[in-house]
């Protein structure tokens, strides 16, 4: 099975490059590993100076992991002088200072120096020493430049194949070979018109769930939201996907229930049960059960949904501060405006006596504390929500 990234159907990169010279490599595995990284980065010319375990070497072929052609074409030499005899420029890799008057360069620098020489048809070489003690002083003396690596000075010794990989990578990069693949461009950048339409939709839905609180911070919050998406530089497809996300969140699994899971009839039944059992309170708590208002807000009845839709679209109520399903003392109000101290109480068409008594007690409690209670009939609201809103506007003098 091929390794990750190995694809034998693709063309093997064959291009002129520097010769890699390994001086007296001690074990075959390191030769094979060096051949493998050479193949990774388009280098094919390997020269071996007196390998300790002899040549050819089965362990080297095993470690090459498919880079057989590098090993098959490797050349054997008795000493370094013979290995570099035809070279016009030689760089010696070493981790030790040899006190020689030669340029000391990084792998990146030597790669940039090698590129024009190789392009001009010259034979160049990069020499690597023994695993145990590297290159001897006289061997470094045969080179034109010294290559060393920016490594931890307290632990500067690299594995032979690692050192070859660093130089080979820089060579491949400077030789003009780009990345093998990039991000596919399936959708162009989103035009401002599309982004503005998305923001309009987003802000409308956030307004419905009372995200912009307090009102005086709305402008700042809106600007911050727009800046988030502007920094993203979204594509057309990104904006289309985000439109779908907002729609899914707004409508929920069973229609426009603001993310809830109950339809209108189920939400009405929930309120009926709560009214018959003390408006969602337990003896040990003064107010409703924690989280109940959020549950009711996420699962509106048809009357609540219809009234809220026309109210939020009517400019007359823009500064009234109405909220849905918010606790007011021990009760949860269908709609409440704390600035105006107004509560809208939507009653179902028919209630059990116990539920009707609970509702009457709630209205009395609110009236005693200075709230104006606006009673509305659920069936009438569903039939004509604009008429119900007109009634509310008249009572508020709007």
Q: pLDDT tens across 80-113, in order?
A: 999 999 999 999 999 887 778 899 999 999 999 9
User: What are the pLDDT digits (tens) for 270-291?
Assistant: 666 666 555 545 444 454 555 6
How many structural domains does the chain have?
A: 3
- For residue 182, is it within any domain? no
- For residue 257, is it within any domain? no
* Sequence-separated (6 or more) residues with CB below 8 Å from residue 46: 19, 20, 22, 34, 35, 38, 70, 71, 73, 74, 75
Are residues 161 and 30 both part of a single domain? yes
Are residues 297 and 161 both part of a single domain? no
User: What confidence category does residue 24 fall into, taking pLDDT thresholds of 50, 70 and 90?
Assistant: very high
- Lowest-pLDDT range, 7-21, 140-154, 230-244, 374-388? 7-21
Are residues 214 and 276 both part of a single domain? no
Sign of CA dihedral 164, 170, 175, 178: positive
Are residues 154 and 230 both part of a single domain? no
Structural contact between residues 362 and 287, judged by C-beta atoms closer than 8 angstroms? no
User: What confidence category does residue 9 fall into, taking pLDDT thresholds of 50, 70 and 90?
Assistant: low
pTM of the model: 0.51
Separation of alpha carbons 159 and 30, rounded Å:
8
What CATH number did the domain enclosing 370 receive?
A: 3.40.960.10
Are residues 30 and 160 both part of a single domain? yes
Q: What is the pLDDT of residue 268?
A: 66
Structure token pair of residue 179: 């990345």
- For residue 156, is it within any domain? yes
Are residues 163 and 301 both part of a single domain? no
248 compared with 61, residue with greater pLDDT: 61
Are residues 109 and 55 both part of a single domain? yes
Structural contact between residues 43 and 167, judged by C-beta atoms closer than 8 angstroms? no
Nearest CA-CA partner of 329 in 276, 369, 291:
369
- For residue 2, is it within any domain? no
Average pLDDT estimate for 196-218: 85
- For residue 7, is it within any domain? no
Q: What is the pLDDT of residue 153?
A: 83
Beta strands 145-147 and 104-105, pairing class: parallel
User: What are the pLDDT digits (tens) for 323-344?
Assistant: 888 888 888 888 999 888 999 9
User: What confidence category does residue 397 fall into, taking pLDDT thresholds of 50, 70 and 90?
Assistant: confident
Would you call 168 helix, strand, or coil by DSSP? Answer: helix
Average pLDDT estimate for 294-311: 83
CA angle 338, 221, 334 (to 5 degrees): 30
pLDDT at position 374 over 60: yes
Separation of alpha carbons 385 and 303, rounded Å:
8
pLDDT at position 56 over 60: yes
- For residue 309, is it within any domain? yes
Separation of alpha carbons 114 and 26, rounded Å:
28
- For residue 14, is it within any domain? no
> Residue 78: how many CB atoms within 10 A of its CB?
9
Single out the residue in 148, 174, 200 at which a domain terminates.
Answer: 174
pLDDT at position 256 over 60: no
pLDDT at position 165 over 90: yes
193 compared with 1, residue with greater pLDDT: 193
Specify which of 34-48, 205-219, 290-304 reaches the highest per-range mean pLDDT: 34-48
DSSP string, 186-207: -SPBPPHHHHHHHHHHHHHHHH
> Residue 307: how many CB atoms within 10 A of its CB?
27
User: What confidence category does residue 141 fall into, taking pLDDT thresholds of 50, 70 and 90?
Assistant: very high
What is the overall mean pLDDT for the chain?
84
Average pLDDT estimate for 255-277: 58
What CATH number did the domain enclosing 118 receive?
A: 3.40.1280.10
- Lowest-pLDDT range, 93-107, 134-148, 156-170? 93-107
Q: What is the pLDDT of residue 79?
A: 95
Are residues 127 and 54 both part of a single domain? yes
* Structural domain of 229: 192-251
**In the chain, what percentage of residues exceed pLDDT 70?**
84
Per-residue DSSP letter, 13: P
Would you call 182 helix, strand, or coil by DSSP? Answer: coil
- For residue 150, is it within any domain? yes
Are residues 165 and 296 both part of a single domain? no
Single out the residue in 141, 174, 207 at which a domain terminates.
Answer: 174
Residue whose structure tokens are 């939709």: 201
Residue whose structure tokens are 């609110």: 366
Single out the residue in 174, 208, 243 at which a domain terminates.
Answer: 174
Are residues 79 and 212 both part of a single domain? no
Are residues 201 and 120 both part of a single domain? no
Average pLDDT estimate for 357-379: 89
Are residues 69 and 135 both part of a single domain? yes
> 183's torsion region: left (phi>0), alpha (psi -120 to 50) or beta?
beta
């Amino acid at each position: 099975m091929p390794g990750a990234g190995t694809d034998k159907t693709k063309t093997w990169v064959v291009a002129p490059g520097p010769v890699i010279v390994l001086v007296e490599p001690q074990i075959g595995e390191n030769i094979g590993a060096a051949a493998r990284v050479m193949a990774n980065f388009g280098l094919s010319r390997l020269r071996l100076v007196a390998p300790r375990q002899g040549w050819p070497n089965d362990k080297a072929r095993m470690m090459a992991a498919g880079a057989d052609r590098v090993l098959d074409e490797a050349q054997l030499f008795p000493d370094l002088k013979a290995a570099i005899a035809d070279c016009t420029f030689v760089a010696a890799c070493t981790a030790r200072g040899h006190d020689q008057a030669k340029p000391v360069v990084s792998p990146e620098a030597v790669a940039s120096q090698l590129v024009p020489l190789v392009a001009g048809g010259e034979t160049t070489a990069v020499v690597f020493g023994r695993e145990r003690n590297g290159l001897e002083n006289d061997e470094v003396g045969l080179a034109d430049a010294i290559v060393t690596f920016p490594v931890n000075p307290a632990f500067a010794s690299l594995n032979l194949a690692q050192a070859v990989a660093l130089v080979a990578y820089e060579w491949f990069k400077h030789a003009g070979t780009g990345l093998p693949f990039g991000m596919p461009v399936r959708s162009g950048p989103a035009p401002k018109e599309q982004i503005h339409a998305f923001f309009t939709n987003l802000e409308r839905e956030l307004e419905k769930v009372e995200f912009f609180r307090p009102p005086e911070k709305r402008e700042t919050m809106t600007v911050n939201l727009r800046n988030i998406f502007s920094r993203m530089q979204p594509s057309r497809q990104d904006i289309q996907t985000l439109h779908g996300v907002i729609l899914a969140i707004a409508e929920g699994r069973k229609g426009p229930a603001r993310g809830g899971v109950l339809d209108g009839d189920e939400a009405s039944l929930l309120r009926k049960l709560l009214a018959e059992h003390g408006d969602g309170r337990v003896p040990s708590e003064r107010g409703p059960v924690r989280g109940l208002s959020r549950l009711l807000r996420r699962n509106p009845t048809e009357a609540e949904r219809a009234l809220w839709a026309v109210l939020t679209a009517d400019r007359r109520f823009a500064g009234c501060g109405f909220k849905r399903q918010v606790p007011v003392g021990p009760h949860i109000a269908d709609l409440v405006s704390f600035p105006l101290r107004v509560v809208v109480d939507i009653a179902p068409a028919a209630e059990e006596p116990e539920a009707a008594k609970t509702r009457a007690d709630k209205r009395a409690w609110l009236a005693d504390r200075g709230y104006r209670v606006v009673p509305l009939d659920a069936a009438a609201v569903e039939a004509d929500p604009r008429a119900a809103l007109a009634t509310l506007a008249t009572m508020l003098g709007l």
